[in-house]
Structure 1
Amino acid sequence: MTQSWNNARFKKSCLAGVIAVLLSPSVYALEPLSDNNLSETTGEGVALLPENFKMVFQGPNDISTASSYNNATISAADKPKYDTGFIRIIPTGENYELLYQRAYDKIYKQNYNSNYAYAKANLYQGSYNSIYDTVYNGIYQNGSTTTTTYTTTYSQVKTKNETTYRNQEISPYLKQKTYTDYYNKRYDQYYWNAPALVPDDGTTKYGGAWLNEEKAAENARLNTIEKIEAAYGSTITTAVNNHLKETTLAQIRASANSTAAQQATSAANTTVDNYAKTNAANVANTTATGAITNARTKADVFIYGLALSKSNGNLTERYSNVGLNWGSAANPWLFRAGTAKDIQQFSGANKSDIGYLALEAPLAKDGIDATSDRIKLGFWTDIFSRSLDSMRTINAITGAPESGLDKDYRLRSQFVANGLSINGSQIRLFQTQNDDVNKLYDETLGIAALLRINTNDNPSTLKFTDTNLNEKGIRISTAAKTDADDGTAVTPAMDGSLAPLFNDKDGLYLYSANINLVLGNMYQPFILASEGNNIILEVTRIPKIPAIYSQIYTLYADTDPNPQFQAGTGLTTASFKGSTCNVSYCGSNFSDITTGTNTVRYQGTNATHSSIAIGSVTRDVSTNLLKANRGADATGIVFKSPSGSAVNLGSAVIDGVLIQHLKFKTTGL
């Protein structure tokens, strides 16, 4: 790695002066302050000022002068081949148990259905018949009349049906002439004669029938049946017993059939289901295991040749080998403590000062900053997808895996950015206020982050025909300069081979890319918390509390010139303090820093909305709204082939982005 620093002597008085610039407006920059004066400030910190700074990750060398960029014997075209110092990132990949289960379930379902259909057609009937016959025969016992089942059923049938069957057997005899004549004669005897005068013919003599038709008929019928029983009693009994036996066996057969059919159906379905389950499980287990083993959902990322240097007009080279000054004595990097006054979070009852620890890049100058040192950022990367069973052994010397990387599953790309400025960016860390509703928010680590990545202070005049587009843009490319320049090695980390050379022209070009992101603020913190074993990153919800959301929301007068506010909120058009951060404006809290007789105004840092602009973009100063230019020469997003032919897709703007709520949560940790 090559890096160069110009280490200025940094006196205590200088540190005091820098802090005083930001914390005591009435004091001139670099004016020495005593420790007593410093103790009265609202916060103290450390000012950092990298001067003539540059760096590039190369292969291991003992001294900086061994860098290829300082070696005159290596041609300019070959110097990037030694950018093989790397950062390795190993994402954990997916939840493999869940991935296996998903694959298993999918394969199981497919195979279960096909195996079930086969078993239904080929195994069901055989299983059904076997179980049916066994159960039926076990109950019916070939019509045996000595079983307990028969005896019990017969007793029930006899109680219910014996009288009916006997009457059925007697009924035909009652129709015979002999017995009809007897009945008629006996009827007359009962009807016309007194009971004492009814002749005795061996049957029972009944009384109370004289001149009574119903009683005479009943008595005559009973005497007729007695005559039939006397003549044919044994025959009738035999017939009744046969009826009782047949009915009993019929009931047993019906019961046996019902029970056997039910058990046979259940057993046959179980046979079919078990067959389908067993075969489907076997196939699913084998196939899912193979699928997961061979699945390439495990990543391996190598970031090579990370380089920072002074920007130039070349989007082909990753490193200019020229140092840059990152800030100034009046506007340095700051690592400091501070206090935000009268902050409310989560609840209307919360209102207090919040102390924070901040890392702040140099402030962004208001207006076009032609004097600032712009950054060139470059690196190239090999990104691999690896199988689950790939080797995990690490070479202790190089930090690279000994195997498991496959060139066929590699994405090789290059990133080069010119004209970069992160001025105005800052990160504040603090403890959030109490939240009685959501304990996850309660007194946890809060972050207010303002990330500004800008490549062009004045994108409104950008044209596709401009000759200096490469001075302010980002390029992402993948094509190698030649097949030979792409190398034969999987990745240099494994074998110490040289870095590839990329094509000079191809790739995605993002000219004049200005990205200004607000991730949380003091009123709506971006929190880092935990839930169980899992980590949570969350831009917290904006509460429905006027005193809080009015500090975040923006009132757009052009779309709602006469807003109506809910009674009791106390809101007016002047209540809404939110604004959008873009390359030209990032909040109302401007800073005027005076050095000697020269006063410079710097942009604010309290905007609450984000913007992303690429290419030719115009800003309406009165509303701070961005608008993508639509002219034929507007540019921003451009694709180029390896031969250099370009497709200009024009410019793009995403303006006024407010994150109402955003949550990321790890799973399975």
Structure 2
Amino acid sequence: MTTLKYTVNFKRTLLATLIGLSVSQYCFALEELSDDTLSDSTGEGIALLPENFSMRFNGVDEAGVGAAGGGSIRLIPVGPLSATAEAKGFQKAEVFVNGISLGQSKKNNGVGRDKADWGVGFGALGAGASDFARPIDSWGTTLNPWILKTVTDVVPSFSGIAKDVSYLTLEAPLMNQVIPTTGAESSAYNLKMGFYADAFMRDKNQPESITNKMQGLSNRIRLAAVWDGFSVNGSSLKVFRSLDGVGVGNTGGKYDVYKLIPQKDASGKVIAFVNDTANKVGTFNYGLSKSYNQTFGVAGVARLNSGKTDSTDARGSVSLGTVTRNIYQLDFSRNADNSVKRDTAGNIIYTQGVDRTSNPNTSDGVLQTYRPPDGSQATTTYNGLPSGGSFPSGGQCASAKKQNNAGAGCTVQEGVTARRFVATSTNTWTMPAAKSVLRISTQELLGTDAVGTPAFGGGVPNFNANSYPDKNAEGIFLYNPNINLVLGGLAQPLVLSTDGSNFSFELTRIPKNAAVYSKIYQKYSDISADMALNDGNTYLGNTCNINKCGGTLTIGGVNYQDSKATHSSITIGSTVYDATKNLTTAYTGKEAFGVSIGELNTVSGLSSSLIQDYTQVWMKNRQFNSSCNWLGTCTYSYGAWDSNWTAVSPQTGTTAKPDPYETTQRQNMNGQILGIQTTMPTNIQSTLNGMTPVGSAPKNNFGSAVVDGLLIQHFKFTTTGL
């Protein structure tokens, strides 16, 4: 096999590039496979094994400096703008996709990436410090190569009848169950891809000039994207003729959608709605379309994976400094009438007051919530609090005699205090080695051409990372992404159709037929049993993620994932994986990372705190005295109020009343707090000592993100106005 080291250098067209890929002398080595190796395959096919392969779009200067990475795909607008678009000031857009490059990362598999990897310019492929990438050692193995083949499978039609479907499929090498980190095959799991794009506004009134090719172009926007450290293994594309079956009671129909007009009774109450037939929102189809029958169909699985992300090496680390612990008095915020302020949810608003760490559980800062009313309280205030009125029959507590029917309400006062337990610290958040980084950026370090594009003689830009005061390079960063996107299948194809002028891309609806949907849907083990899920069907759908994508194939003693799945999984950053359920969720601790605006770096001196608020109910009592002589004449009097407030002990909840109030006088006479529950811990010091902040992450760290078990039921894109 020859290994001439040159890259794809065709200048003008995407077609030329594809032809170049096919004829490059070193890139595709046709490997002979034994009958044993192909014993599990059906149909005819070609095995392709790219070795020492890399690709880059070069400019017109094949030998000169600055041409590397200057080649472009030009997207030219065709056809006029609508009058409505022109009236709004829209112009056509002209786009150049430049420097598309693909190779093996300069860093070995599993080694961390830095600015020299995801921020380099689109330079020559080689061993230099500013090079973009290096050739892929082996994109697969002799037993697990790229395969282009025809296959016949048995698939249910849209009416549920099993039929043969023959399809042409292009399959990337299968994903190894245990990703290799050394050897030639490991390079296929360590790819690097990049491009940059220039988009311009095109003035329709200025023709393109031969001497000034930038004529008519203005308002350039430039974007670059580099993904360092990923693989496409396990991806596949199928092309076939879709089956029939639409029309057997499953075509559905159309329905109109209208705005609704409320109907009111004589009092103005809405009692019904009717369609506003003068304002139709639109007409929509339901059911299946006959255009699905025996048409051009496509299905595929796109697997773009950086590697497993459920272990500690895919998380940052938090190192706490000395923890300071304090208890503060909380003072109740007051309105103009001295009533307690509340937020929109009804929660009481506090302000943090003096430090009470040395003696926290005192009545300092008590807010009186109840005081026995007397005859004067309907119009006056006391202790800075509104009175809120009196008992319904007047001032029962104004004299000892009137108190007879008032009960204990005249011999008790109540109040409440609030305390805030605070533990504070500083911490260092340490960024681990990022084994895969996808950066989307706009800022050039060396802007060699402020308005032009390499396609018209401009310089190739350099997107090396600039240094800001916070040492974070600009751009959107996605760390360790795993994208496993299932786009339909043989039983749910992506079809192309036309109405004569416009055309559509549509992922077909799933028929309401158990023979079809049972092959697509999956029954999750943690869903409680009900009639809808115990219908006697065996659901064969499953989720494709980095850990599992259907079943397992063994080739030459090596286990591979087979990519026969129906549901998608997209993860970015730190995850948690449940192998029993094949379920991936986002890791939510402070160590998580995955999405950031600007580069993530180790940061020290971050502040963090843990705060917990508690309340304590307090009570004062006074004695009610009565005495009667032998003639039946009685005298009544009150004793003095207790000089100090007494803390109310917590009550134990019951089944009937799990959260009992500690306040007993809940008339809320002062418009303050009703039914406070004592929460102040009895073991105050140990509670405080047990509080430790979890730490903080850098402000530009947005954590991880996961969408797992995604099934695309149906979508359709249709052009308009053609």
TM over 0.5: yes
Call closer, same or farther: CA 1:45–1:357 in 2, change over 3 Å: same
For the 8 Å contact 1:15–1:46, the answer to whether it is kept is no
* CA distance 1:532–1:301, change in 2 (3 Å): same
Which structure 2 residues correspond to residues 453-532 of structure 1 after superposition, within 5 A?
453-461=304-312, 462-464=314-316, 469-482=433-446, 485-504=447-466, 505-532=473-500
- Give the Cα separation in 2 of the matches to 1:20 and 1:616: 41
Secondary structure of 1:88's match? strand
Matching residue's letter, 2:540: K
Paired residues of 1:94 and 1:297 also in contact (CA < 8 A): no
Q: Tell me, in whole angstroms, the C-alpha distance in 2 between the residues paired with 1:514 and 1:405.
A: 38
Residue from 599, 623, 627 that aligns with 2:581:
623
Task: State the Cα distance separating 1:20 from its structure 2 match.
Answer: 5.2
Conserved 8 A contact 1:451-1:516: yes
Who is 1:141 aligned against? none
CA distance 1:394–1:515, change in 2 (3 Å): farther
- Residue pair 2:45, 2:149 contacting (<8 A) in 1 also: yes
Q: Provide the rounded CA distance (Å) in 1 between the counterparts of 2:532 and 2:139.
A: 46
Any gaps of 5 or more consecutive residues in structure 1? 26-40, 69-78, 101-287
Q: Indicate the residue corresponding to 2:324 in structure 1.
A: none
Q: Is the 8 A contact 1:430 1:445 kept in 2?
A: yes
Query: Displacement of 1:415 after TM fit?
Result: 0.7
Percent of pairs with identical residues: 37
| AA of the residue aligned to 2:442 | T
Specify which structure has the higher proportion of helix. 1
Match of 2:174 among 363, 375, 379: 363
Greater per-residue strand proportion = 2
Does structure 1 residue 376 correspond to structure 2 residue 192? yes
Q: Which residue of 2 aligns with 1:327?
A: 140
Match for residue 691 of structure 2?
A: none
* Residue of structure 2 equivalent to 1:15: 32
In structure 1, what is the Cα distance between the partners aligned to 2:64 and 2:310? 36
1:448 corresponds to which residue? 299
Structure 2 residue aligned with 1:122: none
Cα deviation 1:264-294 (Å, max 9, x = unaligned): xxxxxxxxxxxxxxxxxxxxxxxx4xx5xxx
8 A contact 1:446–1:525 mirrored in 2: yes
CA–CA distance in structure 2, aligned partners of residues 613 and 501 of structure 1: 26
* Counterpart residue identity of residue 70, structure 2: T
User: How far off its partner does 1:56 sit?
Assistant: 1.7
- In structure 1, the partner of 2:549 is 586
1:653 & 1:643 partners in 2: Cα distance? 22
Give the aligned partner of residue 222 of structure 1. Answer: none
Name which of 534, 559, 575 aligns with 1:601: 559
Aligned-partner Cα distance in 1 for 2:173–2:28: 20
State the partner residue of 2:73. 87
Q: Residue 427 of structure 1 aligns to a residue in which SS?
A: strand
Deviation readout 1:570-614 (Å, 9 max, x if unpaired): x24xx00011111111112x21101xxxx1111122110111100
Displacement of 1:378: 1.0
1:369 Cα deviation from its structure 2 partner: 3.5
Q: How does 1:44-193 map to 2 (within 5 A)?
A: 44-62=44-62, 66=63, 68=65, 82-92=68-78, 95-100=81-86
- Give the Cα–Cα distance (whole angstroms) in 1 for the partners of residues 178 and 29 of structure 2: 30
Are the equivalent residues in 2 in contact too, given 1:506–1:644 (CA < 8 A)? no
Partner of residue 243, structure 2: 433
Tell whether the 8 Å contact from 2:434 to 2:480 is kept in structure 1 after alignment: no
Residues 372-418 of structure 1: per-residue CA shift (max 9 Å, x gap): 2111001111122334x25352759xxx9542211xx2221211101
Q: Is the 8 A contact 1:506 1:642 kept in 2?
A: no
1:419 aligns with 2:236: no
Q: Deviations over 1:16-38 (max 9, x none)?
A: 42x752x414xxxxxxxxxxxxx
CA distance in 2, matches of 1:411, 1:500: 15
Q: Distance in 2 between matches of 1:528 and 1:378?
A: 30
TM-score, normalised with respect to structure 1: 0.59
Residue 457 of structure 1: CA displacement? 2.9
Match of 1:336 among 145, 149, 153: 149
Alignment of 1:545-556 (within 5 A): 545-556=513-524
- Unmatched 5+ stretches in structure 2: 1-5, 9-20, 108-112, 123-130, 252-288, 318-429, 467-472, 604-697
- Residues 642 and 468 of structure 1, relative CA distance in 2, 3 Å threshold: closer
Residue 67 of structure 1 and its aligned partner are, at CA, apart by 6.8
Q: Secondary structure at the match of 2:585?
A: strand
Per-residue CA distance 1:154-204 (angstroms, 9 max, x = gap): xxxxxxxxxxxxxxxxxxxxxxxxxxxxxxxxxxxxxxxxxxxxxxxxxxx
Q: Distance in 2 between matches of 1:414 and 1:584?
A: 30
Distance 2:25 2:99 in 1: 23
Question: Which letter maps to 2:503?
Answer: I
Please tell me the residue identity of whatever aligns with 1:651.
Answer: S
Q: Alpha-carbon deviations, 1:24-62, whole Å to 9, x = none?
A: 14xxxxxxxxxxxxxxx7301111111111122221244
Change (3 A) 1:344 1:637: same
Task: Specify which of 634, 649, 657 is matched with residue 710 of structure 2.
Answer: 657
Q: Distance in 2 between matches of 1:332 and 1:476?
A: 31
C-alpha offsets along residues 493-528 of structure 1, whole Å, 9 cap, x if unaligned? 223434344434221110011111111101111112
Determine if contact 2:448/2:460 at 8 Å carries over to the other structure. Answer: no
Match of 1:564 in 2: 531
Superposition pairs for residues 257-296 of structure 1, below 5 Å? Answer: 288=87, 291=88, 295-296=89-90
* CA–CA separation in structure 2 for the residues paired with 1:566 and 1:494: 61
Superposition map of 1:246-257 within 5 A: none
Query: Max radius of gyration: which structure?
Result: 1
d(CA) in 2 for partners of 1:480, 1:643:
20
SS at match of 1:403: coil
SS at structure 2 position matched to 1:633: coil
Q: TM-score, normalised by structure 2?
A: 0.55
CA distance in 2, matches of 1:82, 1:606: 40
The structure-2 alpha-carbon separation of the partners of 1:344 and 1:97, relative to structure 1 and needing over 3 Å to count, comes to farther
- Check whether the contact 2:600–2:701 (CA below 8 A) recurs between aligned residues: no
Cα distance per residue 1:442-470 (max 9 Å; x no partner): 10011111011111234433123676644
| Residue of structure 2 equivalent to 1:217 | none
Cα gap change, 1:49 to 1:413, in 2 (>3 Å):
same
Letter in 2 for 1:381: A
Change (3 A) 1:536 1:51: same
Q: Check whether the contact 1:506–1:643 (CA below 8 A) recurs between aligned residues.
A: no
Tell me, in whole angstroms, the C-alpha distance in 2 between the residues paired with 1:565 and 1:624: 22
Relative distance call for 1:395 and 1:364 in structure 2 (3 A) is: farther
What is the DSSP-based 3-state SS (H/G/I as helix, E as strand, rest coil) of the residue aligned with 1:50? strand
Q: Is the 8 A contact 1:52 1:323 kept in 2?
A: yes
CA contact (8 A) 2:309 2:574 kept: no
Q: Which moved more, 1:526-535 or 1:541-550?
A: 526-535
For residues 401 and 340 of structure 1, do their structure 2 counterparts lie closer, same or farther at Cα, with a shift above 3 Å needed?
Answer: farther
- Tell me by how many angstroms 1:99 deviates: 2.8
| Pair 1:468–1:415, CA change in 2 (3 A) | farther
Which residue identity lines up with residue 422 of structure 1 in the other structure?
V
